[in-house]
Structure 1
Amino acid sequence: MARGSANGGKVRQQQERILWLDMARALAVVGMVVYHFTFDLAMFGYIPAPTPVTGFWAIFARAVAGSFIALAGFGLVLAHWRGIGWRRFWRRLGIVAAGAALVSLATWFVMPGQFVFFGILHSIALSSVIGLAFLRLHWVGMLGLAAAVIALPQVWRDVIFDAPPLWFVGLSAHVRPSIDFEPFFPWFGAFLIGMAVAKLMLSAGPMARSTPTPAMERVSFIGRHSLVIYLIHQPVLIGLFISWNWLNG
Structure 2
Amino acid sequence: MLNRDERKRIWELDFLRGIALILMIIFHFLYDLNEFFHYPVAYYTGVYYYIGKVSVILFMLISGISSSLSRNNLKRGLRLLIIAMGITVVTHLWQAQWGIKFGILHFLGVSIMLYPALARLPSIALPVLGTLVIWAGRFLPEVSFDYLFPLGIKSSNFVSADYYPLIPWLGVFVYGVFLGKVLYKNHKSLLKFRFSPQNPVNYLGAHTLIVYLIHQPLLLLMLNIIFHFL
The answer as to whether partners of 2:146 and 2:154 remain within 8 angstroms in 1 is no
Larger radius of gyration: 1
Match of 1:229 in 2: 211
- CA gap of 1:216–1:118, structure 2 versus 1, over 3 A, is same
Shift of 1:195: 0.6
Please, what TM-score do these two structures have when normalized by structure 2?
0.88
CA distance 1:206–1:121, change in 2 (3 Å)? closer
User: What residue in structure 1 maps to residue 130 of structure 2?
Assistant: 146
Deviates more, 1:53-62 or 1:208-217: 208-217
Q: What's the secondary structure of 1:34's corresponding residue?
A: helix
Count of aligned pairs:
226
User: Deviation at 1:62?
Assistant: 2.1
Following superposition, the deviation at residue 150 of structure 1 comes to 0.4
> Does the 8 A contact of 1:29 with 1:230 survive in 2?
yes
Which residue in the other structure is 1:46 paired with? Answer: 39
Task: Look up the match of 2:22.
Answer: 30
Taking every aligned residue pair, what percent have the same amino acid on both sides? 25
Counterparts of 1:186-205 in structure 2 under 5 Å?
186-203=168-185, 205=186
What is the distance in 1 between the residues matched to 2:194 and 2:136?
Answer: 42
Assess, with a 3 A threshold, how the Cα gap between structure 1 residues 113 and 154 changes in structure 2: closer, same or farther: same
Which AA in structure 2 matches 1:29?
A: L
Q: Give the C-alpha shift of residue 101 in structure 1.
A: 1.5
Name the aligned partner's letter for residue 22 of structure 1: D
> Match for 1:231: what amino acid?
L
- Structure-1-length-normalised TM-score: 0.81
Structure 1 residue 57, shift from structure 2 partner: 2.4
User: Which deviates more from structure 2 when the two are superposed, residues 238-247 or residues 19-28?
Assistant: 238-247
Counterpart position of 2:189: 208
Q: How far off is 1:217 after superposition? A: 4.1
Q: 2:205 & 2:33 partners in 1: Cα distance?
A: 25
**Mapped pair 1:68 → 2:59:** yes
Runs of at least 5 residues in structure 2 that lack an aligned partner in the other structure: none
**Corresponding residue number in structure 2 for 1:171:** 153
Residue 11 of structure 2 corresponds to residue 19 of structure 1: yes
Deviations 1:165-202 (A, max 9, x none): 21111134535122111001011011101111111103
- Report the Cα distance in structure 2 between the residues aligned to 1:37 and 1:71, rounded to whole angstroms: 23
Measured in 1, the distance between the counterparts of 2:14 and 2:102 equals 26
RMSD: 2.4
Higher helix share: 1
Aligned mates of 2:212, 2:3 — CA distance in 1:
29
